[in-house]
Every structure is written in structure tokens, then in C-alpha cells.
A and B are shown apart, each in its own frame.
Chain A
Amino acid sequence: MIPGSFDYVRPKTLSEAVSLLGKNPEAKILAGGHSLIPMMRFRMATPPMLIDINQLSELAYIKEEGDWLRIGAMTREADVDRSDTVRKRYPLLADTARVIADPLVRNLATLGGNIAHADPANDHPATMLAYGAQVVATGPKGERTLEISDFFRGAFETALAPGEILTEIRIPRAQARSGGAYFKLERKVGDYATAAVAVQLALDGSGKVASAGIGLTNVGLTPIYAKAAAESLEGKKPNDGAIAEAARLASDAAEPVDDHRGSEEYKRHLVRTLTNRAVTQALKRAEANAGGAA
């Protein structure tokens, strides 16, 4: 299958990319291309121009700075997976990067693309909701920071304004006694999740949950933040009963539909089971996490 014709431009700087996008509002940004190019081959997308930002090495980095882990939007999934900082200090992100598509796709696919594409089946959105992350958008008027909770507006629809490029993702810097986990059921490697659950927890000195975040993948038109489930854990030392209650609330927050991956009922059951496992694993990791640098 051959994509439709398009103009191709390869800016050397971010400001050049922003200016090109400003002049060509119908253009699409080409990052890893592993969602966009398949859509173009099927002619589900026929953009008149691609602005290839793969040369912008200024957008590929992973660094802890101030209160944040800052990740450049062009960071490849394989590099997220290989990062010592991520592996040692951000287990929820490490779990997620490791199960996106397959190893070949991860060599080109980017963290920024996974979020900006806003496919409710993508994995990072739920993870970023659980972390309470921020995204940085760069446009003709400069940079602005958006809360991830305001970012996903619908299926494939985000709060990015015309002319803006997603340039950075910021995750709250890892603290001692915090931990997370991502549990995904997929029919086979490379498939989208039938359902997946992201959990991030922080414990206080007495072992009670100080803060919790729970995100759900591919059980609605957007990634879902399971607010009631997360809040139900806060202020408690979660025992089996409390974890089961959070899992039930997460399942209630899901909005799955019947499709070739399973029935609505099956997916709700799956969200309950995966939440149970992810909270249990996140707790274990938080308890074992004495802090310390990567």
C-alpha cells in the first residue's frame, strides 16, 4: 500500500518547525511515524505536507531537573526503556515503555508521538494521568505548559492549539517511598491493549498512601483517570479489602464497549483484575523504595 502524495520538509531547528507549521496548518508533524505512516498507507490520513522533526536532537533527552523528570518529545521508546534513571526510579514508566508495540517499533516510536496522537489505545496517556504529568507545547507565541488531565479532549483529539508542537513531557520527580506499575493484557505482542491499568502511589512515613493516581487504557474514547478509585486509597494502609474496593471503583470508571478484543463485561472484569495487580505491585515497589539517585 502506498500513501498519497505529500510535500516533505525537514527543519533543522524547532523554531523552523514551528514556523513551517504556522504557514501550513494542514501539515502533520512526522515524529516516529509508527501511527501516522500506517494511517497514510491505508489513506486514512492524507496530509498535504509532513514536517519531519527527526533531525531535532534538541528534543531527545531524559533528565531530572528541579521537581521534574523532563523527557524530550522525540525520545524513542527504546531509549526510555534503556534509561538507567527510568529503570531505577520510574518503574511505572519503565513498565509502560517496555510493552508498547514491539521491539522494532520501539526503536523509532517516540514518547511525544504516543501522547500527541491521543489514541485511547496508546499506553503512555494512562501512565501520564497516573503520574499527574505535564506536557509542554511550543507554538508561535512560545512555550506553554498543560496539565495532562486537561490534555485529552476526545479520541485523537488534544488541547494542542493549531500551530503547536508537543515538545516535552514532565513527570513529578521520584520521591522515596513512591512506586508504580503498569499492567496490560494484549492478545499478542504488538497488539493494542484489551485493557491496561497504570498505578502510581506515594506513601507517608507511617506507610499510609499519601497520594495515588490510576489511569486506564483503551476502555473509553479517551484515556480515563479513575479518580474515585485513586482517592479511595488515600490516607489508608491498603489491605486486600481496600485494594479490592479501589479495583471495583476503577472498573466502574471504565467505559468499554464490545469489540473484537472482548465484551464490555469482560473488559470491566479485566480492569478490576489488572487494577488489583497493579496496586499490589505499586505498593510493594513503594515500600521497597528508600529513595536515592539513579
Chain B
Amino acid sequence: MSTHQISLQLNGESHTREVESRLLLVHFIREELNLTGTHIGCDTTSCGACTVLMNGRPVKSCTVFAVQADGAQITTVEGLAQNGNLHPIQEGFMEKHGLQCGYCTPGMMMTSVALLKDNPSPTEEEIRWGISGNLCRCTGYVNIVKAVQYAASKMKGDSNG
């Protein structure tokens, strides 16, 4: 067994911990930092429920070791709202009923935030392509696409205004 000291920024806060090398990032976030918004769905790198941003890119945190995140900037769903205001993507999922059971929602939102940063005006096809690594078993994706479109237009409005 080997343990390592790691330091990372999570949602803007610094954390330093001693971790076993085999600890997965998703377990570190949920069990060491007690942030349970990041979900574990399939445990097989398929479903995307555990998606977080690592240095700005969405990744499946069940397929990264915590020790690999040493020095990284991580954003989880808890980091989306700012000063008590929901992020436009959170508002979108609420306004457009983009969730039913809600299990996939944090992952969907993290992927969508990165998608909109790269491409502020995605077509429906680009949205569907962009979230194709995140599985939802309830909605049929229709309202998820609408939620992302809502966020896209809200974020453009904000930056214009």
C-alpha cells in the first residue's frame, strides 16, 4: 500500500489530505470531503453521473485516482451556484423540468457547463452529441436538451447585458 499527500483546489477551496494511491477521485470527493452531490452510478465508466470538471474539462471521477488530481482545480455541482444564485444551467434544469429522479443531473450539468463554455450557441445536435457520455434513464433527454438551451440563451443574455 502506498499513501501520498495531495493538495487540490475544490470549488475554489484548498484541501490537503493523505490518500491511498488506489482511492478514486469520486470516493475522495464524497467520503473525504463529504460532498455527495457527485453521484456514483455505474462504476464502469459508462454513465457519467460522477462527472466533475478537472482543470476545466469534464471527466468521469470514477476513472481518475485522487492522487492524479494532485495540484488540479476541481469543480463539482456544489461549486455551480455563486453567492446564493443558481447557475443558469441549474435554473434551466428547474425551469424546463430537465430531471425526474435527479440521479444523472449533477453529471449532466457539469458536462453542459463545459459544453457551453466551448460552444455558447450549440445546436440541438451538438447538445445531444456533447452529453452523449451522460446517461439518463428517466427523461428521454428532451427536457435536458431544453434545459441546456435555456442556459445557453440566459448566459448570452447575461454577457450582453
Interface of A with B (CB < 8 Å)? 1-8, 10, 30, 33-34, 37-38, 40-41, 50, 52, 54, 78, 101-105, 107-108, 189-190
A101: chain B residues at CB < 8 Å are 133
Please indicate the chain B residues that have their CB under 8 angstroms from the CB of A37 in the complex. Answer: 24, 45, 63-65
Which residues of chain B (41-78) have a CB below 8 Å from chain A? 43-46, 48, 51, 57-60, 62-65, 67-68, 70
Residue from the list B48, B64, B70 in contact with A108, Cβ < 8 A:
B64
Q: Please, how many angstroms separate the alpha-carbon atoms of A8 and B59 in the complex?
A: 21
> Is residue B15 contacting chain A, with contact meaning CB distance below 8 A?
no
Shortest Cβ distance from A52 into B: residue = B68
Question: Which of B63, B64, B65 is most buried by chain A, counting CB atoms within 10 A of its CB?
Answer: B63
Q: Do residues B132 and A189 form an inter-chain contact, with CB atoms below 8 A?
A: yes
Complex contact B59–A104 (CB within 8 A): yes
- Once bound together, how far apart are the Cα atoms of A102 and B62, in whole Å? 15
Q: Which residues of A contact B21 (CB under 8 A)?
A: 5-8, 50
Q: Taking the complex as formed, is B101 at the interface, i.e. its CB lies under 8 A from any CB of chain A?
A: no
**B59 adjacent to A107 (CB under 8 Å):** yes
Contact yes or no, B68 A6, CB < 8 A:
no
Q: How far is the CB of B90 from chain A (nearest CB, A)?
A: 20
Contacts of A189 in B (CB 8 A): 132-133
- B105 part of interface (Cβ distance < 8 Å): no
Instruction: Note all chain A residues with C-beta closer than 8 A to B131.
Output: 103
**When chains A and B are docked, how far (Å) is the Cα of A59 from the Cα of B65?**
21
Q: Nearest Cβ distance between residue A147 and chain B, in whole angstroms?
A: 32
Given contacts A2-B24, A5-B20, A190-B133, contact A105 B60 (CB under 8 A): yes
CA distance A203 to B138 in the complex (A): 50
Residues of B contacting A104 in the complex (Cβ-Cβ under 8 angstroms):
48, 51, 58-60, 111, 133-134
Residue of chain A at shortest CB distance from B46: A190
Interface centre among A2, A4, A7, A102 (most CB of B within 10 A): A102
Asked if A105 meets B64 with Cβ closer than 8 Å, knowing A2-B24, A5-B22, A38-B45, the reply is no
Nearest chain A CB to B25 CB, angstrom units: 10
Taking CB atoms, residues of chain A closer than 8 Å to B46 are 190
Q: A8-B2, A37-B45 are in contact. List 12 more A-B contacts (CB 8 A).
A: A3-B22, A7-B2, A7-B21, A8-B21, A33-B63, A33-B68, A54-B68, A101-B133, A102-B133, A103-B111, A104-B48, A105-B60
